[in-house]
Structure 1
Amino acid sequence: MIAALLLLAAYLVGSLSGSLLLGRLRGVDIRTQGSGNAGGTNALRTQGWKFALGTVLIDVGKGVLAVGLALWFGDGLAWLPWAAGFAAVLGHVWPLFHGFRGGKGAGTLVGALLVLWPVAVPVLVGVWLLVLTATGYVGLSTILAAAGLVPLALLTDGESPRLVFAAVLALFILFTHRSNLARLRAGTEGRFDRVRLWRRLRRGAA
């Protein structure tokens, strides 16, 4: 019963969408703008960096809170904090309080990892930055960064809950970014050309 309540609490915490809560204060719903997604990237493109920063802080913070609650009140169940992290990501993607239309889960995943597996966060961010500065595609960067959790779990002899969490979240992030992959195949995916540092370095060298 305690485990079920904590997982429900994690989902409800995850359902508190940063961009949609801040959007209510501004009188906007970013799901009607840009890509239509309620995540940090669309917040940046449509509302500016301050709004996007607030969105990311809330979305990361709810991942931290959901896992923290499971650790504090979970009676030492080893799998429960990992399951709570996933429940928070589910809440972010399908938020109860916002018509089940949320973001894609990356920010909340980072928040969960900060508590569950902090050494993975620099690796995750490093892969994300590497791909982003090479391609300019945020969605592709997020997919590959999440996929990198699986070999990291294997290389660090992760216990079973960590490996399962890494595999499930890598697949789930791939699922939530399926529209990005479709646009990549069609050649219509938006990109941040300003951050393509590798291209600038190649041009400078030439």
Structure 2
Amino acid sequence: MLSLLSVIAICYLIGAIPSSLWYGKIVHNVDIREHGSGNAGATNTFRILGWKAGTIVLLFDFGKGLICTLFVSQLAYQIGSGPVSFYEGWDVDSMVLILCGVAAVVGHMFPVYAGFSGGKGAATACGMLYGIEPLSISITLAIFLIIMFSTHYVSLASITGAFVFPFSQLILRYGFDWYIDGSIMIFSSLIALGIIVKHKGNIKRLIEGNENRIQSFKPSEGHLKQKADS
């Protein structure tokens, strides 16, 4: 039990690294939370600091979830007597992957390094879920890209992707006999629900018709750079 709790704590601390906040302050001397939507995430970084900064932050946030599930989770088997299941019938390997991934996502949403005010968790959750079950998250990513490029709403694409993801796992398991552990399906659904809830402000703005769009997918220098040059 101690080994699992230790690794969960490590994953939380990795997930809590506020990449957009630190990158903005170190490279641009800007607190990303004071501009745009005020969210410390990749989308706001794209909007405010430009495509290069946004891409770096996006890949870093994705990597936090992926690293925690693929690599850090394995430390649980190296500490003490290793992990034990919380209840009979729960596959230990799946449990370790899930809990480590969830810890990274929670860390991203509520980072201890930034006053527990973080991003919405979509990129980190995507990395975490890719490390656990890559096929269903690849399908979800394709849907995300279709929605984003067709509507220019990143928030709508994230919400739609989160909503579709659990159903893609159900279809794969029961429609195509693709084995996915039941515990993974349950926790994937909870993560998807958490992402949707975290986007409640965006949902309200979408309904009211005043949600921010990405005006162009061509490389830009960001709003701050544009303002400085004008």
By the TM > 0.5 criterion, same fold? yes
How far apart, CA to CA, are the structure 2 residues paired with 1:176 and 1:71? 29
Structure 1 equivalent of residue 167 of structure 2: 151
Structure 2 equivalent of residue 93 of structure 1: 109
Q: Which amino acid in 1 is paired with 2:200?
A: R
| CA deviation string 1:38-86 (max 9, x = no partner) | 1111000100111111111211111122212113434472212111111
Structure 1 equivalent of residue 72 of structure 2: 69
Q: Could you tell me which of 24, 38, 41 is aligned with 2:40? A: 38
Q: Could you tell me which of 175, 196, 199 is aligned with 1:177? A: 199
| Superposition map of 1:1-206 within 5 A | 1-26=2-27, 27-67=29-69, 68-74=71-77, 75=82, 77-78=92-93, 79-157=95-173, 158-194=180-216
Larger Rg computed on CA atoms: 2
2:20–2:40 CA contact under 8 A, matched in 1: yes
Q: Which amino acid in 1 is paired with 2:214?
A: F
How far apart, CA to CA, are the structure 2 residues paired with 1:193 and 1:120? 29
Higher helix share: 1
How far apart, CA to CA, are the structure 2 residues paired with 1:120 and 1:15? 25
2:137–2:165 CA contact under 8 A, matched in 1: no
SS of equivalent residue, structure 2 residue 38: coil
How far apart, CA to CA, are the structure 1 residues paired with 2:33 and 2:68? 25
Gapped regions of structure 2 (runs ≥ 5): 84-91, 174-179, 218-230
| CA deviation string 1:167-202 (max 9, x = no partner) | 10110010111110011122110112446xxxxxxx
1:17–1:58 CA contact under 8 A, matched in 2: no
TM-score of the aligned structures, taking structure 1 as reference length: 0.89
| CA deviation string 1:114-169 (max 9, x = no partner) | 32111123212111012122322111110111122111221222211211122101
Gapped regions of structure 1 (runs ≥ 5): 196-206
May I ask how many residue pairs the two structures share in their alignment? 195
Q: CA deviation at 1:106?
A: 0.8
Q: Which amino acid in 2 is paired with 1:119?
A: L
Which has the bigger relative contact order, CA under 8 A and spacing at least 6?
Answer: 2
Tell me the C-alpha RMSD between the 2 structures: 1.5
